[in-house]
C-alpha cells in the first residue's frame, strides 16, 4: 500500500511538472495574448477577441504562424470568457505557489467538460475497489503470518508429525545404530517435514472477518452492481421469516437457529464455522442462546472457564470492560466460595 501511494504521488508530480509549463495559455499570460489588463471587463474581452481573431485567422492571414497565433487567441478567450475559469486563472496568477489547488482547478476546467461523468465515476469506483481488494489481501497475509507462528498451529503440526513417524520409528528403533551425523540429518528432515505440515495446515485454515481471503464479491463496485438483487433477497427473507415464525408460529429450523445463535453471540457464520471458533458447535447451537436468559448463563459459564484457565488475561479483560462501562461477566460468588456453611 505504501509503494502504491508513492507511485501515485510520483505520477501526479510528473503530471504537474508537465502541465505547469502549459497551464491555461502556455508560457504567455491569457491577458497579454489579448492585449488586456487583468481588470478588463467581459465586453472588453469579447471586443479584443473579435479584433484579433479577424487579424490572425489563417484564411485571412497568410503568415506561417497564423494558425498558432489564432489558436492562442482562441484559448485565451475561452479561459477569460467563462467567469469560473477566469476566477481559477486569476487565482493561479496571484497564488503561483498554491500548486495543488491550481493544478486541480486547471484539470477540472480543461478536462472535465470533455469527459463523460459516468466514466469518471466508474473509474473512481474501480480504483477504490482495487485498493479495497489489495487491503484485504494484505490483511489476510498478515493473519496467515500470525497464525503460522502461533503455538497452537505448531502443536498441531508436531502431533501430526509424531503420528506419521510413529510407525517408522517402531520398525527402525531396534535395527539402526544412531550416529551423530544421522541424528543431525534426521533433525533437519524432521524440521523440513514440520514446515510442510504447517504449510498443509495453513492451506486449510479458514479465517473470517476482516482478515479473511480477499474476495471480488465483497469489493465496492461488485456490491453496487448486485445491490438490486441483494435488496430483493433481503426483503424476501424478512417476509418469509415474518410469515413462518410470526404468523404461523413454527419452530425455528436448524439453519435459522444457527443464524439466531450467531446474531446473539455477535459473530458471523463464517467465523462460527472457522478454525477460530474453538467451542463445541453442537453444544452452542443446542443452548438456544437467542433467549436472553440462556445467553447470560452461557457468558457466565465462559467467564468462569476463562478465570480458571487464564487468570491474568481474565483480570485484564475485566479491567478493560470496567473502563468501557460494560457489566462484568464474573459469576456471582456462591456460599462455598465465600466460606459460609463450612465447618
Instruction: Give how far the C-alpha of residue 335 lies from the chain's centroid of Cα atoms, to the nearest Å.
Output: 51
The CATH code of the domain that includes 85 is 1.10.287.110
Return d(Cα 72, Cα 22) in angstroms, integer.
Answer: 12
Looking at the 3D structure of the chain, how many domains does it have?
A: 3
Is residue 142 a contact partner of residue 207, using CB atoms and an 8 Å limit? no
- Give the pLDDT of residue 341: 40
pLDDT value of residue 251: 92
C-alpha angle 204/206/207, rounded to 5°? 140
Which are the contacts of 208, defined by CB distance < 8 A and separation ≥ 6? 268, 270, 271, 274, 276
In a domain, 343, yes or no: no
Say whether both 10 and 74 belong to one domain: yes
Residue 329 lies in a domain: yes
pLDDT at 321: 64
Which of 277, 275, 138 is closest to 202 using CA atoms? 275
The three cell numbers locating residue 196: 510442510
Q: Give dist(CA 106, CA 319) in Å, integer.
A: 55
Kindly state whether residues 9 and 96 are assigned to the same domain: yes
Same domain membership, residue 129 and residue 103: no
In a domain, 225, yes or no: no
Q: Residue 158, CB half-sphere, CA atoms under 13 Å: how many?
A: 6
Q: Which of 77, 98, 115 delimits the end of a domain?
A: 115
pLDDT of residue 131: 92
Write down the residue that cell numbers 474453538 correspond to. 278
Is 322 part of any domain? yes
Same domain, yes or no, for 166 and 90? no
Query: What is the span of the domain harbouring residue 88?
Result: 2-115
**pLDDT tens by residue, the chain, 343 residues:** 545 455 555 555 545 544 444 578 888 889 999 999 989 999 999 999 999 988 888 888 888 888 889 999 999 999 999 898 899 989 988 988 887 788 888 777 776 666 567 877 888 889 999 999 999 889 888 888 888 888 888 888 888 878 777 755 555 544 444 555 666 677 777 778 778 888 887 877 777 667 778 888 888 899 999 999 999 999 999 999 999 999 999 999 999 999 999 999 888 888 888 777 878 889 999 999 999 999 999 888 888 887 787 777 667 766 766 766 655 555 444 444 444 344 3
Kindly state whether residue 241 falls inside one of the protein's structural domains: no
State pTM to two decimals. Answer: 0.48
Question: Does residue 228 lie in a domain region?
Answer: no
Does 226 fall in a domain?
A: no
Q: How many CB atoms sit inside 10 A of residue 89's CB?
A: 25
End-to-end CA, the chain = 67
| 130 domain-assigned | yes
Whether 222 contacts 129, CB under 8 Å = yes
**CA-wise closest residue to 54 among 69, 75, 65, 37:** 69
- 65 and 6 housed in the same domain: yes
Amino acid at each position: 500500500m505504501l509503494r502504491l501511494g508513492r507511485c501515485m504521488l510520483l505520477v501526479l508530480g510528473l503530471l504537474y511538472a508537465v502541465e505547469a509549463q502549459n497551464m491555461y495559455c502556455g508560457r504567455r499570460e491569457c491577458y497579454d495574448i489579448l492585449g488586456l489588463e487583468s481588470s478588463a471587463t467581459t465586453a472588453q474581452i469579447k471586443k479584443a477577441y473579435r479584433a484579433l481573431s479577424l487579424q490572425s485567422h489563417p484564411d485571412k492571414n497568410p503568415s506561417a504562424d497564423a494558425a498558432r497565433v489564432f489558436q492562442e487567441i482562441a484559448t485565451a478567450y475561452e479561459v477569460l470568457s467563462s467567469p469560473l475559469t477566469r476566477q481559477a486563472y486569476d487565482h493561479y496568477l496571484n497564488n503561483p505557489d498554491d500548486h495543488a489547488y491550481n493544478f486541480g482547478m486547471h484539470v477540472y476546467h480543461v478536462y472535465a467538460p470533455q469527459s463523460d461523468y459516468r466514466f469518471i465515476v466508474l473509474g473512481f469506483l474501480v480504483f477504490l475497489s482495487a485498493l479495497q481488494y489489495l487491503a484485504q489481501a494484505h490483511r489476510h497475509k498478515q493473519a496467515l503470518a500470525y497464525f503460522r507462528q502461533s503455538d497452537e498451529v505448531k502443536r498441531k503440526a508436531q502431533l501430526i508429525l509424531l503420528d506419521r513417524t510413529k510407525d517408522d520409528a517402531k520398525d527402525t528403533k531396534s535395527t539402526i545404530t544412531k550416529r551423530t551425523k544421522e541424528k543431525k540429518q534426521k533433525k533437519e528432515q524432521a524440521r523440513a517435514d514440520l514446515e510442510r505440515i504447517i504449510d498443509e495446515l495453513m492451506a486449510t485454515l479458514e479465517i473470517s472477518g476482516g482478515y479473511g481471503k480477499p474476495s471480488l464479491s465483497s469489493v465496492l463496485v461488485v456490491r453496487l452492481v448486485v445491490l438490486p438483487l441483494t435488496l430483493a433477497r433481503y426483503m424476501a427473507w424478512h417476509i418469509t421469516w415474518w410469515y413462518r415464525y410470526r404468523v404461523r408460529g413454527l419452530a425455528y429450523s436448524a439453519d435459522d437457529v444457527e443464524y439466531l445463535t450467531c446474531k446473539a453471540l455477535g459473530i458471523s457464520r463464517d467465523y462460527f464455522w472457522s478454525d477460530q471458533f474453538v467451542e463445541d458447535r453442537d453444544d452452542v447451537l443446542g443452548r438456544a442462546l437467542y433467549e436472553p436468559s440462556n445467553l447470560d448463563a452461557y457468558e457466565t459459564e465462559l467467564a468462569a472457564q476463562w478465570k480458571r484457565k487464564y487468570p491474568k488475561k481474565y483480570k485484564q479483560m475485566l479491567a478493560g470492560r470496567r473502563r468501557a462501562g460494560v457489566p462484568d461477566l464474573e459469576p456471582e460468588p456462591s456460599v462455598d466460595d465465600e466460606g459460609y456453611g463450612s465447618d
